[in-house]
Structure 1
């Protein structure tokens, strides 16, 4: 670990991305895999707050798995929450309840030394915020998204009356969250409206780097069949081991970070400028109605995206000007 460089990055995150104040109470949630990085955050938070709380759990089984109630209570009681964990807690009741209580949350899921030092984390987040807002303005009040890719993706979905969510790396007022690294605008498609073929490339939550593309046939917002090689079978197993809503199409999101790399970790992969990721499982944190114990993102590379017939990504190139 490049301790001095990581420390400087942590200082910047706390000051510029979270804008922590001396009056705010802080809870840092971590697991046994990420304890050393969590302790580094604690050390820097103490410059603002002499008594931050660190709560540690065993790593969850999967992205979207619920956390112990005692951790949920600690998050709700805090003004600011840092989630430094192996598997994302974003799409959980615990996070939703903390947001409702007014907590400001920064998500650092699957974070590694590499992600702390290089790539997306070093982007200009003010510029990313501008791009995220432009994408959100195009999604707001829109009705239909069409997603295509050279690998064969051909999807349509309704986003009518759904609100976009800006994840620009800047945690704003009470009840808001961002991630680090960051750079995406996300929306939850209307349940039962997604139709077509989704081809996941490169990486997917719960699976990791793919041995071959995964082909998902989707009807009425549900994954009906999965084809591919070993990675496809692994995804099928995750869905089978989940719940009745594990095959729900939960999220459509556009990456806006020009410094993001494809590293096999969705924490950074999905922020890649001009990429798309589509998630299965839970969507209730994004304003949907489906609750599931998983939320798994998968990459779509070099996509072409039309929102109400306006092209906003052309073969992986954002068209925002």
Structure 2
């Protein structure tokens, strides 16, 4: 297989189908050093498709963006930070569209599969919009969250309308910022803490009034405790998310594990760009792939 050609074809799908770029739009590709080649392939795809050549820019935390379409090819750590940043929020608020490329371009599925994934994601978001609260159960541990008034967000790879954002090429989750200070119980992490790794023997996080009350698991628990000690709001339960990609069944220890169909993750820290009120330097996702979701005594399947 010619990987370069496959990556180029994947980039074309992202530009024309996922982002729906118009010929008159101004596009920007932001990259960090490890992802420079990916950025160059996307730029080449723009040119081969007859679009104006996009601006290619190394990431700069002080940069301002005035483009219609912004594609980030950056590390997992930067993706997490920028995904919940004022920079992304500002671009979307003025009608721009933002896509984070989180997988190799050659992994881009067919447009039919991308559409199917997005449809499933939007269906779940609509189903959860009516819920006043959720219960997440994992291996005998339960976490209760109050979500009334908080709109579920379908995060997909279809980023065609003004103000939309997502991840490429086949990302899929429904994210909700639960009402702050209203979550109680325990969440058992059996798969991954994004950026820290897999807790080999699981990690139990206990919440009281929406804040972390205790973390139980050796070294990775201590690492998470150090991370959230950086500011007060980092101790807050900021998000609950649900993976909806039927093409991803097996965890790989990376950011995109959050899209595994049926997975549940919670996040600590910032949520001000997804409908919450918390502002933090931290947004850390903690993932379980063996959870059940309950609403009003009924299990939710997705």
Structure 1 residue corresponding to 2:159, chosen from 171, 186, 189? 171
Q: Work out the CA distance in 2 between the residues paired with 1:108 and 1:54.
A: 15
Contact 2:43 2:53 in 1 (8 A): no
Other-structure match for 2:58: 56
Structure 2 residue corresponding to 1:310, chosen from 295, 298, 302? 298
Other-structure match for 2:13: 12
Q: Work out the CA distance in 1 between the residues paired with 2:151 and 2:26.
A: 30
Partner deviation per Cα, 1:282-312 (whole Å, 9 max, x = no partner): 0011010001111111111221101233311
Kindly report which structure 2 residues correspond to 1:262-281, keeping only aligned pairs within 5 A, or say none: 262-266=251-255, 268-281=256-269
Other-structure match for 1:205: 194
Q: Work out the CA distance in 1 between the residues paired with 2:245 and 2:123.
A: 13
Q: Which runs of 5+ in 1 are unaligned?
A: 58-66
RMSD: 1.8
Establish whether residue 196 from structure 1 lines up as the match of residue 197 from structure 2: no
Q: Which runs of 5+ in 2 are unaligned?
A: none
Other-structure match for 1:64: none
Kindly report which structure 2 residues correspond to 1:1-321, keeping only aligned pairs within 5 A, or say none: 2-46=3-47, 47-57=49-59, 68-70=61-63, 73-74=64-65, 77-86=66-75, 87=77, 88=79, 89-109=82-102, 111=103, 113=104, 116-118=105-107, 121=109, 124-150=113-139, 152-180=140-168, 181-240=170-229, 242-260=230-248, 261-266=250-255, 268-313=256-301, 318=302
Q: Work out the CA distance in 1 between the residues paired with 2:252 and 2:50.
A: 33
Moved more, 77-86 or 7-16: 7-16
Aligned length: 293
Distance change >3 Å, CA 279–CA 133, structure 1 → 2: same
Q: Work out the CA distance in 2 between the residues paired with 1:93 and 1:175.
A: 13
SS in 1 for 2:83: coil
SS in 2 for 1:135: helix
Q: Work out the CA distance in 1 between the residues paired with 2:276 and 2:188.
A: 23
